[in-house]
Structure 1
Amino acid sequence: FNDEKTYYQVNHHVFLAHAKAVLAFKEIMPEGKIGASFAYSPSYAIDSRPENGMAKLDHDNLKSFWWMDVYAYGRYPRTALRYLEKQGVAPTITEEDSKTLHAAAQKVDFMGVNYYQTATVEYNPLDGVTPFGEMNTTGKKGTGQVTGVPGVYKNPSNPYLETTDWDWVIDPSGLRFACKEITSRYDLPIIISENGLGAFDKKTADNKIHDDYRIAYLAAHLKELIKASDEGCEILGYCTWSFTDLLSWLNGYQKRYGFIYVDRDEEGGTLDRYKKDSYYWYKEVIETNGASLSVE
């Protein structure tokens, strides 16, 4: 799919659907709480060169803030919209559309965040990489391609951070970064609607799944979330992804996220379920309301 004009118009219609849902919900249940959920990857400039700082700003306005500004303010980032207008791909926005988006933004109660990784941003020359590079959907580390917008930005790897087998950056501090950014920019409470680690989990002969890597991942992220709360972010809730292993629209059954192992792969399986080590660990975290975590 490379029709950018259609992409942004469809995206605009999604925003309108969100806005109308918010307005309808508040009409039915004025005291109820409602908000959007967005896959947010806060970004770092790769270094302090001005062109890379500008690339980060443009990246954020065309990506993360393009969504969250509409949810929280009811309008698109002005410079990003101007860029799309110059490219001839900006969505058609009616006056009635703008009124609907703005009205809904006044009634949003929180920002939902699906957090998995941060992004690194560098200036991308006009003859540079495009948005259509291949994602790593095989789990073979290092096979994902750098993507970006020619003349604006690209997303190289971060040399300071490890990645999953699917080349997703592992950055617990990025969750804290995301919460502080949202708090400062939008002054909204936050629900972490997704956070988790996809991995090649293996079941032993005695039906055990020793996923200490998942425990380490979640513990590190929860500790950063506690720090964000201590620093003034209002965290309403935290939801892991996910309770059980499930089918991925990109990776099938090979990329597992759950606390419960499901005996199923692309070839079949019994669908029997087995509790992973992370299940027992997270059970204790819940029972102690996080007191079992050691936060430095």
Structure 2
Amino acid sequence: MMILHGAAIGTVNGSAAEVQKILYQQNHHMLIAQALTMKLLHKMVADAKIGPAPNISYVYPKTCKPEDILAMQNFSAIRNWLYLDMAVYGRYNTVAWNFMEKTGITPTIEAGDMEALKDAKPDFIAFNYYATATVADGSAIFEDDESGDQQISIGMKGFYAGSKNEHLQKTQFGWEVDPEGFRITLREIYDRYHLPLIVTENGLGAYDEVNENGEIIDDYRIEYLQKHIMQAKLAIDDGVELLGYCPWSAIDLISTHQGFVKRYGFIYVNRTEDDLKDMKRLKKKSFYWYKKVIASNGEDLTNNK
């Protein structure tokens, strides 16, 4: 759950302002549906547990300049707290609402909407994490760019400008890799909302290849997951109540932005973007590694290369 760039996901057409207004209106309806669902489940099953599941990325300022700090706060509100403040507190985040007002994209709020949103009481927060984001002062942006994807920040004039983080490595698809940022994100969410957390997605998309022996040796995926699980353990030591961790994903599937060439799974599917081939399933090296991780309840993270 988050507002993606309209051009990137191909759901709406029009000017940037028109696209954003439609997306934020759709998001308002989605948040109401989420609130009503949480309330209904609690009514139907007294001891049921339910919560939101947005994509969350901690946001760094590019430098310690006050303008960059403000940009970080702006993007954090738009990128993260808009969705969680609504789910937990039943209200729009102040900075995010100010952004929508200044850009003319506030959603139409009907009678009863806010009352419905305030009635939802989540039992936990689930979230997807892939990487952090870094932003700088947005006053220098001349044209807004809506061609990014969920992990690549572009910018919004007057609010923030997406920036690279020279301290982080990148995946083959340009996403920054930040295991320590995972710990930071866990701590930030837990400190803001004081609800148990569940990680619903965390993984590495890559160009996996089958070698001459019919194997997929994806040590890079194992290393990525090793580091993130270790940081999750440290977050628990910090006092974060983490109920569960779910890697993404069990099997190769279609990526929102890069199609089938970007593989996430522990299990390889023998097909290409345009050719289904025989759809044979092949267990990658990471499959056997994660099987061991599960059996040891996360204690054994070693990789025998």
TM-score of the superposition, structure 2-length normalised? Answer: 0.89
- After TM superposition, list the pairs within 5 Å mapping 1:81-92 onto structure 2: 81-92=97-108
Q: Distance in 1 between matches of 2:68 and 2:261?
A: 36
Q: Answer with 13-22 or 77-86: which moved more.
A: 77-86
Aligned residues of 2:268 and 2:284 also touching (Cα < 8 A):
yes
Residue 51 (str. 1) matches residue 59 (str. 2): no
2:300 to 286, 292, 295: 292
What residue number does 1:246 align with?
253
What residue number does 2:93 align with?
77
* Superposed displacement of residue 156, structure 1: 1.0
Kindly provide the amino acid, as one letter, of the partner of residue 43 in structure 2. Answer: E
2:139 to 111, 118, 125: 125
What residue number does 1:281 align with?
289
Equivalent position SS for 2:231:
helix
Aligned residues of 1:128 and 1:151 also touching (Cα < 8 A):
no
Aligned residues of 2:197 and 2:241 also touching (Cα < 8 A):
yes
What residue number does 1:109 align with?
123
* Superposed displacement of residue 79, structure 1: 2.6
Distance 1:145 1:97, change over 3 A: closer
Kindly provide the amino acid, as one letter, of the partner of residue 301 in structure 2. Answer: L
Q: Distance in 1 between matches of 2:298 and 2:153?
A: 37
Aligned residues of 1:285 and 1:293 also touching (Cα < 8 A):
yes
* Superposed displacement of residue 254, structure 1: 0.5
- After TM superposition, list the pairs within 5 Å mapping 1:2-13 onto structure 2: 2=16, 3=18, 4-13=20-29
Q: Distance in 2 between matches of 1:134 and 1:292?
A: 37
1:20-61 deviation per Cα after TM superposition (whole angstroms, max 9, x unaligned): 111111111120100010111111001100000011011111
Residue 215 (str. 1) matches residue 222 (str. 2): yes
Matched length? 285
* Superposed displacement of residue 80, structure 1: 2.1
* Superposed displacement of residue 71, structure 1: 1.0
Kindly provide the amino acid, as one letter, of the partner of residue 98 in structure 1. Answer: M
RMSD: 1.7
Aligned residues of 1:252 and 1:265 also touching (Cα < 8 A):
no
**Identity within the alignment, %:** 39
* Superposed displacement of residue 86, structure 1: 2.9
Q: Distance in 1 between matches of 2:204 and 2:287?
A: 13
Kindly provide the amino acid, as one letter, of the partner of residue 144 in structure 2. Answer: T
The gaps in structure 2 that reach 5 residues or longer are 1-12
What residue number does 1:41 align with?
57
What residue number does 2:10 align with?
none
Distance 1:145 1:185, change over 3 A: closer
1:161-182 deviation per Cα after TM superposition (whole angstroms, max 9, x unaligned): 0111111110011111111001
What residue number does 2:262 align with?
255
1:215-265 deviation per Cα after TM superposition (whole angstroms, max 9, x unaligned): 000000000000001111111111010011112232221000011111111
Distance 1:231 1:52, change over 3 A: same
Distance 1:206 1:188, change over 3 A: same
